[in-house]
Amino acid sequence: MAIAAPKSSASADTAFGLFWRRFRKHRLAVASLVFIGLLILMAVFAPFIAPYSPTAQPTGEDLASKYFQGPSREHWLGTDDLGRDVLSRIIYGARVSLLVGFMAAISGVLLGTILGTLAGYFSGRPFRFYLGPLNRREGGWQPPLFVAWRVASWVLFYGLLLGAAQLVWTLGGDDIRAGLGGDWSFANVLSLVASSLAWAAIAWAAVWGLRGSFRLDLDIAISRVIDFMLTIPELPLLLVLSALLRDPGASVGQWIQGVFGESTSVFIIISILVIFGWTGSARLVRGAILSLREQEFTTAAQALGASEARVMFRHLVPNTIAPIIVNVTLGVGGAIVTEAALSFLGFGIQPPVATWGNMLTNAQEYIFSAPWLALAPGFMIFLTVLAFNYLGDGLRDALDPRSRL
Amino acid sequence: MFAYTIRRLVQMIPLLFAASVVIFALLALQPGDPLDELRQNNPNLTAEQLEQLRKAYGLDQPIYVRYFKWLGRALQGDLGQSRSYGVKAAEFVFGERLPRTLLLSGLAFAVALLIAIPVGIFSAVRQYSTADYAITFMTFIGFSTPVFFLGIILLYLFTVVVPERTGLPALPTGLPSLFWSDVTTGSISFFGFIGTWASHLILPVMTLALIQMASWTRYMRASLLEVLNQDFIRTARAKGLAERKVLYKHALRNALIPIVTLVGLAVPGVLGGAIITENIFSYPGMGRTIFESLLAKDYNVAMAALAMLAVLTALFNLIADLLYAVVDPRIRYS
Amino acid sequence: MKYLSKLATVWIVGAGLAFAGPQDNTLVVGASQEPTVLGGDFLSIISNQSIKAEVENYLLVPMIGIDADSKNFPIMVTELPTLANRRLRSVDIGGGKRRLEMDLTLRSDLKWSDGTPITTDDIAFFNEVGNAKGMPVLNPDVWERRKLIVKDKLNFTVTFEPAFYTDTIGAPIGYAPAHVMRPEWQKVLAQTQNLDAKRDAARLSEIYRSFFQAFGSNRAINQGKMVWSGPFRVTRWAAGSTIELTRNPNFWITPPGGADKYVQRVTYRIIQNTNSLLVAILGGGVDATSRVSITLDQARSPQLTSRAPGRYDIWSVPGAVWEHIDVNKFTNVERVKELGLDDKRTRQALLHALDRDSWVKAFFEGFEPVSHTWVAPVNPLFNDKVRRYEYNPDKAKALLAEMGWRPGPDGILQRTVGGKTVRFEIEFVTTSGNAIRERTQQLFAEQWKRIGVAVKINNAPSAVVFDAKYLNRAVEGTWTGMTMFAWVSSLAELGNLFKYKDLNTGATFIPTAENNFTGQNIGGWRNDEYDRLAAQAVVEFDPEKRAELFARMQVIWAEELPALPLRFRADPLITKKGLVNYLGATYSGGNNYPNWLPWAIGWTARGAQKLFDQAKYATAISTK
């Protein structure tokens, strides 16, 4: 691995050429790439490949004989609980499953990697996040980006404050308006005290915002957000969201529907997976960066005048690639299966649309009467995850900066 | 380090406060309320009677009043009553369900790590060998198998098929029908008690451990490979150190660093229980407690369990961070 | 070696396998639920689970039971009150309302399990606790209408005013062990005397719950705090695992041949996951299934039917759970108007397009019958002669064409309403995760597509669907088309599911803002003739006249078709060969409880006499 590559031609020495030469040596990785490519083609051209419609059901009176068929000439993988062709459902199912699996795992890990890198690299170097409009502490010229952030931060700050005020008003407005009205019950007194305190805090914040300033360590901010995310239980949150999407009064559902149209369901599912998925990789990357930034090569790069961004993303991130790749690999499989669970909670993909996840979950019902129904989707998920793993291995070997000697 | 720890502990207070607010709000906003069932089953209830019931269930007050009442009592150690069981929520969650989860999930977690770490090391050392491919293959089968299928298959195998074919007794599942008082009154010996429990735990522990092993093997393998590629290993080898020594003295120590963090982060998840395994093997632990209390709208129990998990998550996050600094001298916390 | 063999014994006993069944005259029942409390919670304030009622059938018998033929039979009283023996009197109190008076006499040999006689004092105690201020009882309407008059230790009268015929089904009132619970209750009274029923409702309810819990929780039961009146008492309740009941020697009814010929110990094995429960049955560790156990699908699985011959009987007991599709009929909802869902022809067309006969055959082998109205075929009020909607897509198309629907370019029907072209796409909601419903839904969606009706499936978890803010707000358009779910019905049928207004009480049943969204008529159907008949029927104490009124209600219903009737569920019952008098029928014990005659459950091999034939009440599932 440490052998220098023979210089065959000048063009081969471009970054990509080098990468490709090394990647090619990893035969399983290449095979996996081809396999994933074929899967994507299968998904895209599903209508031309699939022998039947994925939702076509048999007709006639004796339906039972057409349900749960084993493999046959007509149905290579048999039929499911409604007599639909399993092969066609697998082919069509690749569409949602691959989209959700790839997008959720990759975007989650990408987001996690970026935030984790920022947190780890800037740990202990707090930024001035907020400087009130009337605060003149920083005079002189300032970079335009900084000025833009300052203005944006005022808008954000007072926007949030307004939101908080609105919330307190809806929650406790009645108590303020009505006063105690002679009712000295515990609940009434408590709510009056609580809303008075909330109003006092809002007023104080409004004044503070004019002149105050606030330095924040990115690491602390991101880490506490992660901690917070990790403490929020997923199931109750998802149930609340599911009800909210169906509440015509809240109109959240209609709004999202209006923006995303047909792809709403897939968008919602990917978003949920990303929101809950980024924290793991962020923590992992943050930890690795914290350690790497103290190493000699980082100091060397900084001394040579490399920009912060370059140090972070060219020198540090490639060194954390191994756990990132494991994360993506495991994430793809996880997302494909979790999609079905989310759909059950009322988000997104509704029957009769086929996905590998819902085929596998549905097979649970028939574990005693038709256990083979689980095989096809389970095997596809297995192959996809395996292919991603080998692809990851190949990528790591090809990208690893240490083997670039 | 000490100052850092203290600072982190102090930071935990607002975090936990915020988490408790959010969890409480989520539970209060859950679709449906405890009266839905009554409303559907008894159409003769008048609006007035329903209002009276709402008052009896304490649902007539605004969310934040309910929250402060809960917080006030929680800080005095009173987490309220379970709606379905009528007993104290804290006693139910911490006294009954949590110890069971510690036993089952903790044991499974330990078994998974004890097997996965050596296998991961072996797989990394023999990278791209037949054995490595076989292990990779197996781990991904483990990873792609839903717990549900594995659990039911093992259950069917060891309680129906094997006994039918061989005449061996079926492996028991669920909780043993035993009390500690059975030992004190002498109706069963101490070892009999332990043995019975152990026999009941074989199948669920096996199921949980098999599923968890897959990802831990991958993480261990990746981590060790990463270290084996680094300069100092090459230096150590160039120095002529024996391969064993390079591996165990230099590489392994460094490779375990990220694993330690991951383990720290995984602990709260372990304590949250394993809902599917607990369900299949009739083992009422934390996973089922949380799920069932949500379904039954037994919010005091759900709140106690979820708040406990939030505290543990925050705590183990801190422990993971601190451990990281302990095992990796390059990391400095100021 | 000695240690090993001991361990093996423990192991086997723990699994509950070795000595089950006739060998030691015991019964192991497999259940998929566990009661959270037993006994002490006699008003079902903490829990009203059906498994609690089932287990309590062994422990606390009702005064008057309901047998497999849905008839009352006396358990604690000397004779049933009837109009003929003048123990039952219905008095006209004007305004179409009636008062009901029931004279009852307790048997003189009744005893609690500790030997204390059961007297009217125990009934008075029950009544006192239920009437305590702010007691959050589940059926406040009954408590408001019911009065108890105690005459002496054994004689008492119960009155209902106003009365409904449902008041004569089963026991009119309950009882609780005053000698055990009253001292604690006095403390509760002292604690609550200064509390106000309205202002301190939450506090009161908490104190009451603690009181019930002190005699009903797992710990209290194991400590022997509760006494029992049934043929069995609890000897060990290992939470999350098993409940062990043993014969109560103080029970007053002796089954034919003597109590020792019948089951001496009943063990409930609790296995929540029904697949795991099925595995336990396959392994031979269960003698019979509870009312709440595996599904009918699982009972028909080849693993079970192939092992059954010579070992098990597998029955399908008709149930009273009605699966249907409710249709939004609120004309203020725009989509309802566009699709014409408020017009009965649309609903009739939708039903004609469904091949329900093939459906029940393919899905349930016909064990679950197609329903034509909301009344179960086994209910005495059932009317067979109503309009039926056979599978006839052409008729469906013709009805829709009548409404102005024409096939559009994509094959989906369309029509013009108020200058706007409307595509016939209807929202279809059901509870996700319920495999049978989701499977049914997809089959129906396909059949509707064949007549040009597009279906937009929008499922959610049951917590979301059954949230009153969703299901009960069709008037606000939370769901705009159809929702598939089930109602559980009982012998006490009042027709409330489809009433607009109860003409006796004035209550309304269509959930709208006016009645704070209460009521079960969630689709919003109004038929004044139906309401009038229902109001007459519920105060009609002559069974034949009542059936006649209900028959007319069903005719109207089937013609107007406010909802699409689908099927009545059936419940599986699995019993080991030789087990007798463990018998399920739709209304036995009130709710298909197989242990409604708990003292007579036994094994023929141990001399138990068979008193009833299960084949009369259920269909056998063929085994091979």
ipTM of the complex: 0.90
Separation between Cα atoms, residue B178 and residue B193, nearest integer Å: 8
Residues in A touching B146 (Cβ below 8 Å): 337, 360, 364, 374, 378
Chain A hits for B22, Cβ within 8 Å = 232
Contact criterion met (CB < 8 Å) for A246 and C457? no
Contact (CB<8Å) A368/C301: yes
Mean pLDDT of A16-38: 88
Residue B204 contacts by C-beta under 8 Å, 6 or more apart in sequence?
A: B104, B108, B151, B173, B277, B278, B280, B281, B283
Contact A294, B330 (CB under 8 A): yes
C9 falls in which pLDDT band (50, 70, 90)? very low
Contact C140 B52 (CB under 8 A): yes
pLDDT of residue A2: 40
Average pLDDT over residues C402-421: 92
* CA distance between the termini of chain B: 7
Along the 334 residues of chain B, how does pLDDT read in single tens digits?
788 888 888 888 888 999 999 999 999 888 888 887 777 777 777 777 888 888 888 787 778 788 888 898 888 888 988 988 888 999 999 998 999 999 999 999 999 999 999 999 999 998 889 999 999 888 888 888 888 899 999 999 999 999 988 888 888 888 888 888 888 888 888 898 999 999 999 999 999 999 889 889 988 998 898 888 777 888 888 888 888 888 887 888 888 877 887 888 788 888 887 888 999 999 999 999 999 998 888 999 999 999 999 998 888 888 887 877 777 766 666 5
Cα separation of C507 and C140, whole Å?
Answer: 14
Of C202, C269, C519, Cβ closest to residue B56: C202
Given a cut of 70, is residue C14 above it in pLDDT?
Answer: no
Cβ–Cβ below 8 Å for B159 and C279? yes
Which positions 264-303 of C are in contact with B (Cβ < 8 Å)? 269-273, 275-276, 279-280, 282-283, 285, 303
Picking from C217, C303, C496, the nearest residue to B85 by CB comes out as C217
Instruction: Residue B283: list chain C partners with CB under 8 A.
Output: 240
* Residue B264 with chain A: CB contacts under 8 Å: none
Q: Which C residues 426-455 touch A at CB under 8 Å?
A: 432-433, 435, 438-439, 441-443, 445-446
B-contacting residues in C 136-195 (Cβ below 8 Å): 136, 138-141
Residue C331 has pLDDT above 90, yes or no: yes
Name the amino acid, one letter, at A386.
L
* Under 8 Å between Cβ of C235 and C26: no
- Which tokens belong to C471? 């299901």
Q: Residue A365: which of C278, C435, C476 has the nearest Cβ?
A: C435
The answer to whether residue C131 neighbours chain A at the CB level (below 8 Å) is: no
- From the CA of A352, how many Å to the nearest CA of chain C? 6
With contacts defined as CB-CB under 8 Å, which chain B residues touch C164? Answer: none
**Structure confidence at residue A175 (pLDDT):** 52
Calculate the average pLDDT of chain C: 92
Is the CB of B174 less than 8 angstroms away from the CB of C37?
A: no
- In this complex, is the C-beta atom of C411 within 8 Å of any C-beta atom belonging to chain A? no
Distance from CA of C434 to the nearest CA of A (A): 10
pLDDT of residue A402: 60
Q: What is the mean pLDDT of residues A262-277?
A: 83
Per-residue confidence (pLDDT) for residue C353, from 0 to 100: 96
Instruction: Work out the average pLDDT over A326-354.
Output: 82
Give the model's pLDDT for residue C48. 87
CB-based contact B52 C36, cutoff 8 Å: no
pLDDT class for C173, splitting at 50, 70, 90? very high
User: How many interface pairs between A and C have CB atoms less than 8 angstroms apart?
Assistant: 88
Tell me what pLDDT residue A242 has: 84
pLDDT of residue B177: 85
pLDDT single digits (tens) A377-399: 999 989 998 898 888 888 877 87
What is the pLDDT at residue C19? 47
Contact C36 B84 (CB under 8 A): yes
pLDDT band at A262 (very low <50, low <70, confident <90, very high): low
Question: Residue C607: what pLDDT?
Answer: 92
For the cut 90, the answer to whether the pLDDT of residue C18 exceeds it is no
Give the pLDDT band of residue A403 (cuts 50, 70, 90).
Answer: low
Give, in order, the Cα–Cα distances in Å from C82 to each of A374, C77, C87, C88, C151.
59, 13, 6, 5, 19
The pLDDT value given to residue A159: 92
Q: Which chain C residues are within 8 Å of A242, Cβ to Cβ?
A: 460-461, 464
For the range B331-334, what are the long-range contacts, defined as Cβ-Cβ under 8 Å and sequence gap of 24 or more?
B331/A290, B331/A291, B331/A294, B332/A294, B333/B1, B333/B4, B334/A124, B334/B4
Region C444-473: mean pLDDT is: 92
Tokens (6 digits) for C56 = 């309590």
Residue written as token pair 């291995």? A393
pLDDT of residue C469: 87
Q: Do B31 and A171 touch (CB under 8 A)?
A: no
pLDDT class of C17 with cuts at 50, 70, 90: very low
**With an 8 Å Cβ cutoff, is C459 touching chain A?**
yes
Q: Which of A187, A243, A385 sits opposite B140 (nearest CB)?
A: A385
For residue A142, what pLDDT is reported? 66
Q: What is the pLDDT of residues C256-293, one digit of tens each?
A: 999 999 999 999 999 999 999 999 999 988 999 999 99
Which pLDDT score is estimated for A405? 35
Per-residue pLDDT at A179 exceeds 80: no
CA distance A166 to C81: 64
Does residue C409 register a pLDDT over 70? Answer: yes
Give residue B323's pLDDT.
79
* Chain B: partners with 3+ C-beta pairs within 8 Å: A, C
The pLDDT value recorded for residue C422 is 94
Out of A80-84, A220-224, C392-396, C529-533, least confident range:
A220-224
For residue B294, the chain A residue with the least C-alpha distance is A236
Residue C615, chain B, CB below 8 Å: the answer is no
Q: Burial letters for C197-235: b for 16+ Cβ neighbours within 10 Å, e otherwise?
A: eeebbbbbbbbbbbbbbbbbbbebbbeebbbbbbbbbbe
- Summarize pLDDT for C28-84 with one digit per residue, the tens: 999 999 999 999 999 999 988 899 999 999 999 999 999 999 999 999 999 999 988
Does the pLDDT value for residue C2 go beyond 60? no
